Structure 1
Amino acid sequence: MLNRALRTMEFDIIMKMDFSIRDLYEDMDRLHVEQSIGHRKSDSFTVYRGQGLVKTDFNQLVKTKCGLLSSNSFLSTSKNHNVSLNFARHSMLNSDLIGVLFIMTIDPSLSSTRFASIKNVSCHQTERETLVSIRSIFRIGHIKQIEHDNDRLWQVELKSANDADSQRHKFTERIRQRTMELTGWHGLGQLLIMINQFSKAEDLYKVLL
């Protein structure tokens, strides 16, 4: 429910879960620091996430190939390829969705991707779950159809954005400049207006009334 609310900007739910989100973010940050100490580039690992995307979002993703992707929600991922692929397949039961298997290569030595292994506290330990944090930044790589006879099942390769990536610096600096004077829920509303998300801004202000 939390992931869906963050992804679709359901502000009434987000506000009710505000403290839970902060606690989760702080716990993740602590675990990330603990689990990343001493890691080098050679310690990169791969996790998978299967989900459904509406066609407009999938088409936008394809257009952004080789560009940057920033997560706007916590992402539950697994080191089990088959488990994640099954999630992608299951999403196709909804005819409006494209099944997507994200193959995410995470470099613990880079600051662009915040993550924490939660396999020891997860209810599904066989999935070897890793949680990827909000605002993690990836470089979009190869996008291909998984099955030749099925144009609704795709895989997308993502890699942690390099700290020295000039495009990443421009991307994050642009966000910082836009948001440095914006605080609280009203600040978020102003940001949504800046990026032409007028209907979402209207939804937010209705909740704030």
Structure 2
Amino acid sequence: MVNRVLRQKNIQFMFLFGFFLRDLYQQLKCEHEKFLRKQLKNSKVTVYRGQIMSKTEIEKLKDSIDNIVTSSFMSTTFDPAMSEIYLGTSMPDDELQSILFEIELNLAEKSFPYADISTISWFPSESETLLMPGLEFKMTENSIYYNVERKIWLAKLELVSDTIEKEDDRMLEGFGERRKMRYYIDLLMETLTDFCSATASLIETVFNHLMELFPREKWILAVKMSCLAQYNIDRDFNYTLALPNWDEALKYWFEYQDDEELNVNIAIGRIYYDI
């Protein structure tokens, strides 16, 4: 259920699962640190995942020139035989194809957490390693191919360092919690307006949920109104609708002008520039 919500990018349901996702992230992060300590003698480990995919999905994977980013939790195992139990075989022209992913994890690379969870799993014999959504993997030109003898597809992936998270860590070093929150909510606004073509209704839903979670942080309303104004410009090409939203955003930002931690002057200046 959680993975379906993540794959569909259903923001409303993500908020409903928010506490569960946060707790799971924290636990996986803790297990990740334990995992790294146990693997001090190794620079890399390999995990496996067997999966049934459509022929079309296989072709898209073969033709992809970009790195692959996981959109949901991925269950893998240290045991390649275990990963093939439910696979079966497939011919290249079959509509459904069997594919075995061989995933190399460079333990020195900074990334979202992953960990061996066999000690806390209901099925410890499966040697399960759980990967967090958002992990990025590299494929080379010959990374995926059909193995005639085994009658399955084989795909080799390599974990890529999360350069964005590294930059975020450097940028936010020494910042207080509220300043960090503002940075990530600004990033959310950028994602909603620039990358995922959010509707006005979705923007309202996201920021209303944030206000419910952080009722004391009234400045979130300023980001919401700025986001709606940007939507008015980018989607409706309507400055008449955008101006009242920018005015509302300025009204809320002015209330926090003396708040040194939030440092809102840049946000105010950006609105005047856009107007």
TM-score (norm 1): 0.70
Query: How far apart, CA to CA, are the structure 2 residues paired with 1:49 and 1:38?
Result: 22
User: How much has 1:50 moved relative to structure 2?
Assistant: 1.7
Cα deviation code 1:56-115 (max 9, x no counterpart): 5433322235x42222222111122123223444999xx764432111111222213631
How large is the RMSD of aligned CA atoms in angstroms?
3.9
Residue pairs, 1:44-193, within 5 angstroms:
44-64=44-64, 67-89=66-88, 97-112=96-111, 114-141=113-140, 142-147=143-148, 153-161=152-160, 163=161, 169=163, 183=185, 187=188, 191=191
Residue equivalent to 2:17: 17
Q: Which has the higher contact order (CA 8 A, sep 6+)?
A: 1
What letter corresponds to residue 147 of structure 1 in structure 2?
V
**Do the aligned residues in 1 keep the contact of 2:44 with 2:105 (CA within 8 Å)?**
yes
What letter corresponds to residue 44 of structure 1 in structure 2?
K
Percent sequence identity is: 24
Query: How far apart, CA to CA, are the structure 2 residues paired with 1:34 and 1:24?
Result: 15
Residue equivalent to 1:177: none
For residues 119 and 170 of structure 1, do their structure 2 counterparts lie closer, same or farther at Cα, with a shift above 3 Å needed?
closer
What letter corresponds to residue 17 of structure 1 in structure 2?
F
**Do the aligned residues in 2 keep the contact of 1:76 with 1:129 (CA within 8 Å)?**
yes
How many pairs does the alignment contain? 190
For residues 145 and 111 of structure 1, do their structure 2 counterparts lie closer, same or farther at Cα, with a shift above 3 Å needed?
same
SS in 1 for 2:109: coil
**Do the aligned residues in 2 keep the contact of 1:5 with 1:13 (CA within 8 Å)?**
yes
Residue equivalent to 2:269: none
Query: How far apart, CA to CA, are the structure 2 residues paired with 1:7 and 1:116?
Result: 21
Residue equivalent to 1:205: 202
Query: How far apart, CA to CA, are the structure 2 residues paired with 1:207 and 1:100?
Result: 41
Instruction: Give the strand-richer structure, 1 or 2.
Output: 1
**Do the aligned residues in 1 keep the contact of 2:75 with 2:131 (CA within 8 Å)?**
yes
Residue equivalent to 2:37: 37
Query: How far apart, CA to CA, are the structure 1 residues paired with 2:95 and 2:8?
Result: 16
SS in 2 for 1:77: strand
**Do the aligned residues in 2 keep the contact of 1:143 with 1:155 (CA within 8 Å)?**
yes
